[in-house]
Structure 1
Amino acid sequence: SELGFLPDNQAKYESMLKVPYGMILISGPTGAGKTTTLYASINSLDTLGRNIVTIEDPAEYRFRDINQIQVNPQAGITFARGLRSILRLDPDVIMVGEIRDAETTQIAVQSALTGHLMLTSIHASDAAGVLTRLIDLGVEPFLIASSVIGIVAQRMVRRICPDCTHLIEAPLIERLAYEKEIGEEKTEFLYGTGCATCAYTGYLGRTGIFEILAMSDNVRTLITNRANSSEIRAQASEDGMKSMMNDGMHKVKAGIT
C-alpha cells in the first residue's frame, strides 16, 4: 500500500472499511499523516451509488462526486454544526477531518450508531489511548464499545535512500531494541550513507508506521467496564495487535527505514 501498511495490517484495515456502519478513528500527532490515511480510505471505498460527505478544516484535496464541506467559524460552520447539517443529507459515509470537542464527538458517535460509516481523526498517543480519549470527551463507555469498528494509530518515519544503502553494524542499543521486537539477533542493518539523490541525508521520502486495533468482544467488555488504556493495550496485543514499534522494526528488517 502506498501508505506503508504491511500486508497483515493492510488486510485488517481493508476488512474494517467493509463494515457498513460504525466508527473508524485515525490517531497521531500533527504531521503523522492522518489526513492522507483518511483520504486513501475514502478513495478505496466503492463510491458508486454511495452518498459520501466530508467536513474538513481545511479541505486539502478535492474529490470528484463527493460533497465536501469546509469548516468556517466566521460563517457559523463548526465541525459540530456542519456534521448536524450533513446528517440531513442522509449520507452513507461521513468523513470528519478531526474531532476535538465533546459536541462533535457525541454527534459522530451517534452517527456511527445510526447506520453511517464514520471516518475521523483524533489526537492520542496510541490506539488504546483513543478509547480513553473518547471517554475524556464525555462519551459513555458502552456507546464507544458499540460504535467503534477500529482504530489506526500512526507516525511518519523517514525512508532510507535506495541509491546509497550500505549494511553497517548498528549500535548495541538499536540491536537490543530490534531483538526485543523481532525476536532475533541482527548486528548489521541497512543505512543510507548519503548521496546526490538524497542531498547527502541518507533518507528519501517518508512512510508510515502503524498499529491497528480492531475491536474484539474482549476489548468491548474492558471499555464498558472503564478499563485503563494499558489494560486495553494488553488485551488488544493478545488479540493480535502489533504495536507501532513492532511495525517500525519490521520496516527496519525490510530495509525501509
Structure 2
Amino acid sequence: DRLVQQPHGIVLVTGPTGSGKTTTLYASLGRVDTSTTNVLAVEDPIEYELAGIGQTQVNTKIDLSFGKALRAILRQDPDVIMIGEIRDFETAQIAIQASLTGHLVLATLHTNDAPSAITRLIDMGVEPYLLSSSLLGAQAQRLVRKLCLTCRRQDGEGRWHPVGCPACSNTGYKGRTGVYELMVVDDALRALIHNRAAESALLAAAKAQGFVPMREDGERLVAGGITSLEEVLRVTRD
C-alpha cells in the first residue's frame, strides 16, 4: 500500500506464470484514485477491463511492442504506468527512465524471488545506478491451494493435512491463496544495488530490515490451518 502511494519510482511484482502477478497489479491500481490520477497500462493480453484506466494491448502483428506502446503512452502524461511484463532491455530501460522522471511504474517480471528481480534487470542491461535510484520495492509471490475445511485433518503436533472428500473432489484442497515476500528498498539496499552486489548480499541486507521470505510466509498459513506444509514446500524454495 505504502509503495503504490509514492509519487514516482518503480515497484516490481515477480513470480512464474500463473502466480497471480497481474491480479496483484490490478489490486494495486484499485487503490489509486483514478479521478485525480492518470493511470495507463500496457498489457499482453488485457486480462480484465479496469474502470477509469487506459489500457493498451501489445500487438506484434502491427509491430506494437511493449517498448513502442510505452513510448506512446508516455506522451499522454500518465501519473501511474502499469507494465504487464518486462521482457527485454528496451522495456526495462523505458520503465526505469519513466520512474525517474516523475511517474510511478508498476511492472511484473519472471524471477524466482524478490532479490533476483534486481539481478535480472541488471543482467538485461539496466545500469545499477539507475535501478538503485528508482526501485521502491520488489514483491515475489506464489499461489498455494487451500485445505478443504470439510475434511482437513489435524495431527498430534497440531499441523493440518489434506484428506479428500466429495466437497473437494477428493483432492483435499479447495480454493487458492497467495504466499508473498516483499523487499522494500532502503538506503542499505540502494547502496548494494548501486555496487552490483550478489543476490546473497541483497537477501542478507533485506533480512536485516525485517524481510520475511516466502517460505516463512507460507509457514504462517500452515500454522493457521489454511494450507499444508507439502503445498508450501511445493511452490517455494530454500
TM-score by length of structure 2 reads: 0.93
TM-align CA RMSD: 0.9
Is 1:72 equivalent to 2:59 in the alignment? yes
How far the C-alpha of 1:22 sits from its partner, in A, is: 0.5
Corresponding position of 1:206: 176
Corresponding position of 1:183: none
Is 1:135 equivalent to 2:90 in the alignment? no
- Specify which of 97, 112, 126 is matched with residue 99 of structure 2: 112
How far the C-alpha of 1:188 sits from its partner, in A, is: 3.0
Corresponding position of 1:160: 147
Is 1:245 equivalent to 2:232 in the alignment? no
State how far apart, in whole Å, the 1-side matches of 2:15 and 2:183 are. 14
Gapped regions of structure 1 (runs ≥ 5): 1-13, 170-186
Greater Cα offset, 187-196 or 50-59: 187-196
Paired residues in the alignment total: 227
Equivalent residue runs for 1:149-228 within 5 Å: 149-169=136-156, 187-228=157-198
- 1:118-144: per-residue Cα shift (whole Å, max 9, x none)? 000001111000111110011111111
- 1:60-112: per-residue Cα shift (whole Å, max 9, x none)? 00011211000001112100000000100000000010000000000000000
State how far apart, in whole Å, the 2-side matches of 1:235 and 1:103 are. 29
AA matched with 2:63: G
Is 1:256 equivalent to 2:226 in the alignment? yes
SS at match of 2:119: helix
State how far apart, in whole Å, the 2-side matches of 1:15 and 1:255 are. 29
SS at match of 1:233: helix
Is 1:92 equivalent to 2:62 in the alignment? no
AA matched with 2:222: V
AA matched with 2:155: I
| Counterpart contact for 2:150–2:167, Cα < 8 Å | yes
| Counterpart contact for 1:162–1:192, Cα < 8 Å | no
State how far apart, in whole Å, the 2-side matches of 1:19 and 1:162 are. 39
State how far apart, in whole Å, the 1-side matches of 2:190 and 2:19 are. 27
State how far apart, in whole Å, the 2-side matches of 1:204 and 1:45 are. 32
TM-score by length of structure 1 reads: 0.87
Is 1:25 equivalent to 2:7 in the alignment? no
Gapped regions of structure 2 (runs ≥ 5): 228-238
How far the C-alpha of 1:192 sits from its partner, in A, is: 2.8
Structure 1 residue ranges, 4+ long, deviating more than 2 angstroms after superposition:
none
State how far apart, in whole Å, the 2-side matches of 1:51 and 1:203 are. 41
State how far apart, in whole Å, the 2-side matches of 1:241 and 1:106 are. 27
SS at match of 1:211: strand
State how far apart, in whole Å, the 1-side matches of 2:110 and 2:22 are. 12
% identical equivalent positions: 48
